[in-house]
Structure 1
Amino acid sequence: MTSATLLDAAMLSGPALFAALVVATFVSEDLTCLGAGLLVAAGRVEWFPAVAACFAGIALGDTGVWLIGCAAGGRGWVKRRLPESRLAAFSHWLGRHGGRTAFASRFLPGTRVPLLLAAGIARRGGVRFLLWAFVAALVWVPLVVLSVAFFGAAVPRWAVLSVAVGAFVAPRTGPRFFTRTGRLKVAAAVAKLWRWEFWPAWAFYLPLVPWYALLSLRYRSFTVWTAANPGIPAGGVVGESKSDILAKLPNEWIIPTLLVPAGEHGARLRLLRESLSERGWGFPLVLKPDAGQRGAGVKRVHDPADVEKYLLANPGPVIAQPFHAGPFEAGVFYARVPGEARGRIFSVTDKVFPAVTGDGRSTLEELIWVHPRYRMQAAVFVSRHPADAGRVLGAGEPFALGLAGNHCQGTLFRDGAHLVTPELEAAFDALAKHFDGFFVGRFDVRYADPAEFRAGRGFAVVELNGATSESTNLYDPAWPLWRAYRTLFAQWALVFRVGAANRARGHTPVRVRELFGLLRAHYRDRRLDPLAD
Structure 2
Amino acid sequence: MKTLKRFAERLANWELWPFALIYAPLGPLWLWYAAKAKAFWWFSPANPTLTFAGFDGEGKKEMYDQLPSEFYPQTIYIQPSLTFEEVKKCVTEKGLTYPLCVKPEVGLKGLLFRKVDSEEKLKIYHERIGLEYLIQPLVEAPMEVSVFYYRYPNQPKGVISGFLQKEMMHVYGDGKQSLWELITQHPKAQYRLEEMRIKHETMLNVVLPAGEKYILTHAANLNRGARFTNLHKLIDEKLLSIFDPLSHRCQWYYGRYDLKCNSIEELKDGKFIVLEFNGAGAEPNHVYNSNFSWLGALKVFAHHWKVLYEIGRYNYRHNGVRYWGNREGRRWMKAASKHGELLERLDREILI
TM-score by length of 1: 0.62
Could you tell me whether the CA contact under 8 Å between 1:336 and 1:344 is conserved in 2?
yes
Match of 1:469 among 274, 282, 288: 282
Instruction: Name the CA shift for 1:477/1:378 in 2 (closer, same or farther; >3 Å).
Output: farther
Amino acid aligned to 1:404 = A
Match of 2:8 among 190, 194, 198: 190
Could you tell me whether the CA contact under 8 Å between 1:348 and 1:417 is conserved in 2?
yes
Shift of 1:458: 1.8
Match of 2:53 among 228, 232, 235: 235
What is the CA–CA distance in structure 2 between the aligned matches of 1:432 and 1:286, rounded to whole Å?
A: 27
Match of 2:166 among 337, 351, 361: 351
| Bigger share in strand | 2
Match of 2:180 among 345, 365, 385: 365
**Structure 1: 4+ residue segments shifted above 4 A:** none
Shift of 1:456: 3.7
Match of 1:224 among 42, 66, 69: 42
Shift of 1:211: 1.8
Task: Please show how residues 359-438 of structure 1 align to structure 2 within 5 Å.
Answer: 359-435=174-250, 437-438=251-252
Instruction: Name the CA shift for 1:448/1:498 in 2 (closer, same or farther; >3 Å).
Output: same
Task: Please show how residues 73-112 of structure 1 align to structure 2 within 5 Å.
Answer: none
Percent sequence identity over aligned pairs: 26
Q: Could you say which residue in structure 2 is the equivalent of 1:439?
A: 253
**C-alpha offsets along residues 87-137 of structure 1, whole Å, 9 cap, x if unaligned?**
xxxxxxxxxxxxxxxxxxxxxxxxxxxxxxxxxxxxxxxxxxxxxxxxxxx
**C-alpha offsets along residues 288-309 of structure 1, whole Å, 9 cap, x if unaligned?**
0000111111111001111011
**C-alpha offsets along residues 267-293 of structure 1, whole Å, 9 cap, x if unaligned?**
xx2343223222221111110000011
Match of 2:33 among 192, 212, 215: 215
Shift of 1:463: 1.1
Shift of 1:427: 0.7
What is the CA–CA distance in structure 2 between the aligned matches of 1:445 and 1:395, rounded to whole Å?
A: 31
Shift of 1:479: 1.9
Task: Please show how residues 60-75 of structure 1 align to structure 2 within 5 Å.
Answer: none
What is the CA–CA distance in structure 1 between the aligned matches of 2:129 and 2:321, rounded to whole Å?
A: 35
Instruction: Name the CA shift for 1:207/1:382 in 2 (closer, same or farther; >3 Å).
Output: farther
Q: Could you say which residue in structure 1 is the equivalent of 2:141?
A: 326
Shift of 1:477: 4.4
What is the CA–CA distance in structure 1 between the aligned matches of 2:195 and 2:312, rounded to whole Å?
A: 36
Q: Could you say which residue in structure 2 is the equivalent of 1:452?
A: 266
Task: Please show how residues 214-293 of structure 1 align to structure 2 within 5 Å.
Answer: 214-264=32-82, 266=83, 269-293=84-108
Task: Please show how residues 11-160 of structure 1 align to structure 2 within 5 Å.
Answer: none
Q: Which has the larger radius of gyration?
A: 1
Match of 2:298 among 461, 485, 495: 485
What is the CA–CA distance in structure 1 between the aligned matches of 2:215 and 2:109, rounded to whole Å?
A: 19
Q: Secondary structure at the match of 1:414?
A: strand
Q: Could you say which residue in structure 1 is the equivalent of 2:314?
A: 501
What is the CA–CA distance in structure 2 between the aligned matches of 1:520 and 1:414, rounded to whole Å?
A: 34
Amino acid aligned to 2:300 = T
Shift of 1:379: 4.1
Shift of 1:413: 2.1
What is the CA–CA distance in structure 1 between the aligned matches of 2:23 and 2:90, rounded to whole Å?
A: 42
Shift of 1:243: 1.7
**C-alpha offsets along residues 415-442 of structure 1, whole Å, 9 cap, x if unaligned?**
221231211111111122221x422111
| Bigger share in helix | 1
TM-score by length of 2: 0.92
After superposition, the CA RMSD in angstroms is 1.9
**Number of matched residues?**
346
Could you tell me whether the CA contact under 8 Å between 1:192 and 1:376 is conserved in 2?
no
What is the CA–CA distance in structure 2 between the aligned matches of 1:239 and 1:356, rounded to whole Å?
A: 33
Could you tell me whether the CA contact under 8 Å between 1:250 and 1:434 is conserved in 2?
no
Task: Please show how residues 159-198 of structure 1 align to structure 2 within 5 Å.
Answer: 177=1, 183=2, 185-198=3-16
Could you tell me whether the CA contact under 8 Å between 1:452 and 1:458 is conserved in 2?
yes
Shift of 1:362: 2.2
What is the CA–CA distance in structure 1 between the aligned matches of 2:276 and 2:351, rounded to whole Å?
A: 17
What is the CA–CA distance in structure 2 between the aligned matches of 1:372 and 1:234, rounded to whole Å?
A: 36
Q: Secondary structure at the match of 1:405?
A: coil
Amino acid aligned to 1:191 = E
Moved more, 339-348 or 196-205: 339-348
What is the CA–CA distance in structure 2 between the aligned matches of 1:499 and 1:270, rounded to whole Å?
A: 46
Shift of 1:509: 1.4
Tell me, yes or no, if structure 1 residue 314 matches structure 2 residue 132: no
Instruction: Name the CA shift for 1:484/1:456 in 2 (closer, same or farther; >3 Å).
Output: farther
Shift of 1:405: 1.7
For structure 2, the 5+ residue unaligned runs are: none
Q: Could you say which residue in structure 2 is the equivalent of 1:165?
A: none
Q: Secondary structure at the match of 1:203?
A: helix
